[in-house]
Amino acid sequence: MVTVGQICCTIASTFPKFVCTLLLVWSYYAVIFKIDLVLVENTFSAVAILVLMTLLEALCLISYYFVVAIGPGSPSDFDELRILPSDTDETPVPPAFLQENSITVKRDGGFRFCNKCKVWKPDRCHHCASCDMCVLKMDHHCPWFADCIGFKNHKLFIQFLIYCTIYIALATAISGYSLYEIYYLETVDLDKFSLHIMFVFIVGLIMGLCVLIFTAFSIYQLLINRTTIEAYESQRYRSNQNAPYVGNIFNLGYKQNWRAVMGNSLVEWLLPIRLSSSYGSGLSFEINNLVYQKLRQETELQQRLSQEISNYRSYQKQINQSALSYA
C-alpha cells in the first residue's frame, strides 16, 4: 500500500525536474517561435539562432537527465564495503584495500563507516540525509535535481551548468535585442510583440546571474579538487587527526584536477560522454605528495613536542619527589 510519505517524497522528487524541464522548453519555445521565426528577417541569423538554441537545448536536457539517471554513486554498490551483521562481539574490519588507501579518518582516528547504511566510507564519502544514502565523493545535495552530486555525475553536473550558462546568455541577449528593436529602434511592428519575449528577458537576467555565479564557483572548486562539503568541513587525516591545516591533500594542480573529473579529451569536455577508463571507482583518490609530506612533518613535530613535554613533566616530578624526601 502506498503511504502518504511515499507520495510526498515522489512529489518532492518530481517537482524540481518538472520545473527545470518546463523552464527550458518554454524559453526555447519563446525564442524560436516568438522571436526567431517572427522577428528575425535575416535568413542566416534565423538559421544560426535555430541551430544554436536547438543544440544547447538538447545538451541541457540530456545532461540534466543524465545527472539524475546515472546518480552520484554509493559505497552500497560495492559488496566488499558492506558491514554484514555478526553474531560475535568482534569489531568489524574494513577491507584490505580501504585500510591501505584511506587518508581520512573519524575523530577518534578509526576508519570511517556509516551506521545507517551499514557500509565502510571511503575518502570523501558522506551520508546525505535527503537521499538517505552514502554518496561517493559527495559534493552537495542539489534541490534542482532532487539528487546528490557526487563521483559519478559530477562531470555531467559541471557540463549542465556550462551549457545552461551559455543557453541563458544567448536567450537573454536575443530577447533583449528584440525588445530594443521593438521599443527603441521601432524597426519591428509592435503587433509582433509577445509577453513571452519580456518574460524570457527578465527571467534570463535573474537566473543567468545566479547560474553564472554558481557555475564559476563550481568550476573553481573543481580546479582545486575540493568538494563543497570539504570547503566547509575540516578533514581529519589518518596520520594525525589533530594536525593543523596544511593544504588540500587531493589538489593535484589545475590540469590534473580538471582531467580527473572531466576526462582526458576535448570531446569528453564538450559532450556529456565518457571515452576513457581513467576515472577510477571513487573508492580512493590520488594525493598531493608535497601536502602529504607537510602533514607527516607536522605529525613528527607534534610527536616530538609531546615527548619533550612528557619528559619535562617526568623530570619535574622527580625533582619534586627528591625535594620532599630531603624535607
pLDDT band at 91 (very low <50, low <70, confident <90, very high): confident
Global pTM value: 0.87
Is pLDDT above 90 for 201?
yes
Q: At 250, which helix (H) or strand (E)? A: none
Is pLDDT above 60 for 238?
no
Nearest CA-CA partner of 137 in 127, 151, 148: 151
Is pLDDT above 80 for 52?
yes
Domain boundaries, the chain: 1-71+150-227, 74-135, 234-327
Of the ranges 26-35, 99-108, 292-301, which one carries the lowest mean pLDDT score?
292-301
The grid coordinates of residue 118 equal 551499514
For residue 185, the tally of other CB atoms under 10 A from its CB is 9
Q: Distance between CA 158 and CA 261 in Å, rounded?
A: 9
Residue-wise pLDDT tens digits, 245-300? 667 889 999 999 999 999 999 999 999 998 765 567 899 899 888 888 887 776 65
Query: Strand 133-135 to strand 126-128: parallel, antiparallel, or no bridges (unpaired)?
Result: antiparallel
The sign one gets for the Cα dihedral 284, 101, 249, 142 is: positive
Higher confidence at residue 19 or residue 318? Answer: 19
Residues involved in catalysis: 142
Q: Distance between CA 172 and CA 208 in Å, rounded?
A: 8
